Structure 1
Amino acid sequence: MTTAFITHHDCGLHNMGPEHPESPIRLLAIQKVLQKTGLIEQLKQMESVHVTPEQIQLAHANLHQKRLEMKQPDEGVVYADEDTALCPDSLHAASLAAGSSILATNQVLSDKVDNAFCAVRPPGHHAEHNAAMGFCFYNNVAIGAMHALQQPNVNRVAVVDFDVHHCNGTVDIFKDKPEVLVCSTFQHPYYPERYCDIQRDNIVNCPIEAHTRASVFREQLEKYWLPAIQNHKPDIIFISAGFDAHHEDPMADLNLTEEDYRWATQLLMDAARTTCGGRIVSVLEGGYNPVSLAFSVQAHLEVMAGY
């Protein structure tokens, strides 16, 4: 099993201030744990590339990037919304984060690797077709999924999201594209309160109340995600891998552990083997306790790499 690990040093240049939870420390913690455990040496390490404007426009409005560029400051920070700030290097980092999903998709679809994980930031799943929000500028997974659909022999894709926050941006982009299945578990009621009750055949929303036991998360995946993936028969599966439903994460109130993420990854790996030859691209979303984030990513990657 060959797993690509795609990241870039410059993803750490995006900095919304010392008190902001979406911090460069997140990627440093992941790297430290993977190096200390030796797992990093078992992965195909790759450096991300920049996304092109044309690739951004696969998922976003034509002027979305231009509007963000006009807001980016020469110094300090400027807020795109109440949670999402741009510093001088933010769009440089965001371009690399989105480009990682393009690189990962190309690597997986060309059979150069079995699957891929993108350890990048800023995250992307809240970025809607025409709006940046929730720490997100470009929807990294949506851009990768749309790029996949441009390739020969890719007719259907699935995007699954186990971040604690609902993937409103991904749903907004794909709500009227039946070739894309979107499955999401999320704490509810909770941010962002957008599209969480939308009714579409290709959207599988699984809201979970705060403080619910972790077994409910597993039940949701088995009862709703798995049949939907099997019926959809995607040619590749994308994972929006947010680890902020961990019980130690300060941003929410669900009760998952590393073992729940390990279990979920195995479930998705098994589904991918039976539907799309094991093709998976996973992209980091949330996770704001650096320690629990790093060990959750380790569990995720151990399953992806076959350990």
Structure 2
Amino acid sequence: MSTGYYAFHQHFGHDTGEDHPEHACRILALEQILKKSGVWDHLTIHEGQAAHLPDILRAHSKAYVDELHLIQPEQGHIMVDEDTTMSSGSLEAALYSVGTTTQALDDLLKNVHHNAFAATRPPGHHAERSKSMGFCFFNNTAVAALRAADVHHLQRIAILDFDAHQGNGTIDILQNDQRFLLLSSFQHPFYPYTHFEQNKYTNLVNVHLSQGATGTEFRQGIEEHWAPALKRFAPELILVSAGFDAHKDDPMAELNLEEQDFAWIGQWIARYCQSRNIPWLAILEGGYDLNALARSATLFIAAMLEKQAIQQTSA
């Protein structure tokens, strides 16, 4: 079986303006290092597609979707919240971000690939049912999870989120739904400062990382908290909100992970999925230092390919 890489050029239309940390060069930097390292040559490349409205409406209210269509500017920029910029091409990019994610999901569940990486922007895991925030409009991961459950009839879907900022939107949409296990690793206390209280939710397991935490604390938390929860839940599918902003060089967080920590989590997930013969899909979330993002995500994707030689590249 193979690893699929899904991306789309429409994200260039999502213009966030000067000095915004979430911009098109994030994808360009990743793909440059994927090609330079040789990882690209081992991937099956797919051009993404736009979302279908019924998929979005499983995760988001119709009023919210209608509002986004109404407020999109014909030119220039507006701020949907204090961090989230919208331009004339943002909504199309967000629709492709969702559609490309569900395209990858469908291919996995048709056994086209055994795992896949969706290089999506805008990201999604901060988008709540009726609210844009944290650079996000639609929640790509939650939409994919609900499609897997409602269309493909899977009963146990695990969502692993290792972004430095907790995926509040995914929790908001999927909270207390026993079809989904939500595993989250994030800096605490830190943005978005909501949805982190584990005892409020029946399907959430947190790994809190203090400011300055290193890969040692990250790996220990995964082994101690995520591993037992996964064993009990026995998922049929794993979705990964893959954020790389916990890297020590990232300006948007205060954690000290390094590239090899992201290689490790990729290997950890790959081993688990291989042992249970289940598919998994990783969806890009954060990561704002271009070099750190590109190197870390390349090693993570190399781990998806299960190619040890590639993982040792000096990319």
> TM-score band, normalised by the shorter chain?
over 0.9
* Cα distance between partner residues in 2 of 1:228 and 1:294: 30
Distance in 2, matches of 1:100 and 1:208, equals 31
SS of alignment partner, residue 207 of structure 2: strand
What is the 5 A alignment of 1:212-227? Answer: 212-227=213-228
Q: Secondary structure at the match of 1:58?
A: helix
What's the CA shift string for 1:148-169, capped at 9, x where partnerless? 1124451110100000001100
Partner in structure 1 of residue 298 of structure 2: 298
Aligned to 2:69: 69
Per-residue deviation, residues 151-209 of structure 1 (Å, max 9, x unmatched): 44511101000000011000111112111000111011110001011422310121111
> Match of 2:59, SS?
coil
| Match of residue 247 from structure 1 | 248
In 2, are the aligned partners of 1:269 and 1:278 still within 8 Å (CA)? no
CA contact (8 A) 2:236 2:278 kept: no
User: Aligned partners of 1:305, 1:12: CA distance in 2, in Å?
Assistant: 27
Q: Match of 2:139, as an amino acid?
A: N
Distance, in Å, in 2 between the alignment partners of 1:271 and 1:231 is 13
The aligned residue for residue 259 of structure 1 is: 260
Shift in Å at residue 53 of structure 1?
Answer: 1.3
The one-letter amino acid paired with 1:258 is E
Deviates more, 1:71-80 or 1:195-204: 195-204
CA RMSD of aligned residues (A): 1.1
2: CA distance, partners of 1:43 / 1:214: 27
Q: Secondary structure at the match of 1:116?
A: strand
* 1:112-261 equivalences in 2 (<5 Å): 112-152=112-152, 154-199=154-199, 200-261=201-262
Q: How does 1:52-63 map to 2 (within 5 A)?
A: 52-63=52-63
Q: Partners of 2:140 and 2:150 in 1: how far apart?
A: 16
3-state DSSP of counterpart to 2:121:
coil
5 Å matches for 1:250-289? 250-275=251-276, 277-289=277-289
Letter in 1 for 2:219: R
Correspondence for 1:29: 29
Q: Is the 8 A contact 1:156 1:180 kept in 2?
A: yes
Q: Secondary structure at the match of 2:181?
A: strand
Deviation at 1:271, TM superposition (A): 1.9
Runs of 4+, deviation exceeding 6 Å: none
Q: 1:12·1:27 contact (CA, 8 Å) conserved in 2?
A: no
Alpha-carbon distance change, 66 to 153 in structure 1, aligned in 2, over 3 angstroms: closer
Greater mean alpha carbon deviation, residues 133-142 or residues 29-38: 29-38
Asked if the contact 2:126/2:133 (under 8 Å) is kept, the reply is yes
**Distance in 2, Cα, partners of 1:252 & 1:152:** 36
Unaligned runs of 5+ in 2: 308-315
Contact kept, 8 Å, 2:175 with 2:202, in 1: the verdict is no
Secondary structure, aligned partner of 1:138: coil
Read off the aligned partner of 2:281 and give its amino acid letter: V
Instruction: Calculate the TM-score normalised by the size of structure 1.
Output: 0.97
2:312 maps to: none
**One-letter identity of the residue aligned with 2:274:** R
Percent of aligned positions with the same letter in both sequences?
37
Equivalent residue of 1:74, what SS? coil
Which letter does structure 1 place at the counterpart of 2:228? Answer: P
